Amino acid sequence: MKPLLEIQSIPISITYKVTPAQVERRNVSAEVEIRRDNKGLQMRSRPIRLNIDSFEAKNSIARSPMRSVLETSDRGREAALAATAVYAKEGHAMVNIHLDQNVIPKLATERFNAPLQADFNIRFIPDQPMNMDWVPGELEIDYEMDKLNFDWKTNRNDIHFTPGSIEFVVEEYPRVVVEFVGDPIYVPPSANPNYVDTHA
């Protein structure tokens, strides 16, 4: 009697693809870029400054109206004070008069025999100097040399690496095939077209 089942095992089927690693080398040439910054010469100057104050010198030649009024008022005050002193002195002398004294001729003699003080208005003009001051000048020089900026791009090797790879492809998965290889079973057995009656 032959087996009724046939079992077949089919293994896995795998293919693979290998890509080798690659190294690419690119040579880059050297470059230089030059930039120039212009500086130059800068000069700043301030001239000398002379300040002249001639107010007092001008007033000694020709008085200003305000100065003339002030000086005239001062002279008037001095004259009033001097006259007050003279009158006070003479009044005091006349108060202390005695019967045997004659004060009035003595006072008259003192007035008319006073020393002569004449003012001929002769003087050097201007009698006041001019006030002068000065601020020295300045000169500032600023010099800065031009600058050169160098940007170097040196010669270098550019290396690009591509790693290798392995690609697996499963073309057929493993499996088990079970196949029935026997004859069909008929019930009753006489239904089999190939039935042979062994009892006859």
* pLDDT for the residue 184: 74
What distances in angstroms separate CA 82 from CA 76, 78, 85, 89, 127, one per listed residue? 10, 6, 5, 11, 27
* pLDDT for the residue 144: 84
Of 178, 170, 158, nearest to 4 by C-alpha is: 178
What's the mean pLDDT in 48-55? 84
* pLDDT for the residue 61: 72
**pLDDT reading at 6 higher than 70:** yes
Cis peptide before 188 (omega within 30 of 0): yes
* pLDDT for the residue 179: 84
**pLDDT reading at 15 higher than 60:** yes
Beta strands at 156-162 and 22-28: parallel, antiparallel or unpaired: antiparallel
* pLDDT for the residue 120: 61
**pLDDT reading at 121 higher than 70:** no
* pLDDT for the residue 5: 78
Q: What is the pLDDT of residues 54-110, one digit of tens each?
A: 877 777 777 777 777 777 888 888 888 888 887 787 777 776 766 556 677 777 777
* Least confident range of 23-27, 47-51, 169-173: 23-27
What is this structure's pTM?
Answer: 0.29
- Residue 65 sits at φ, ψ, to 5 deg, of -55, -45
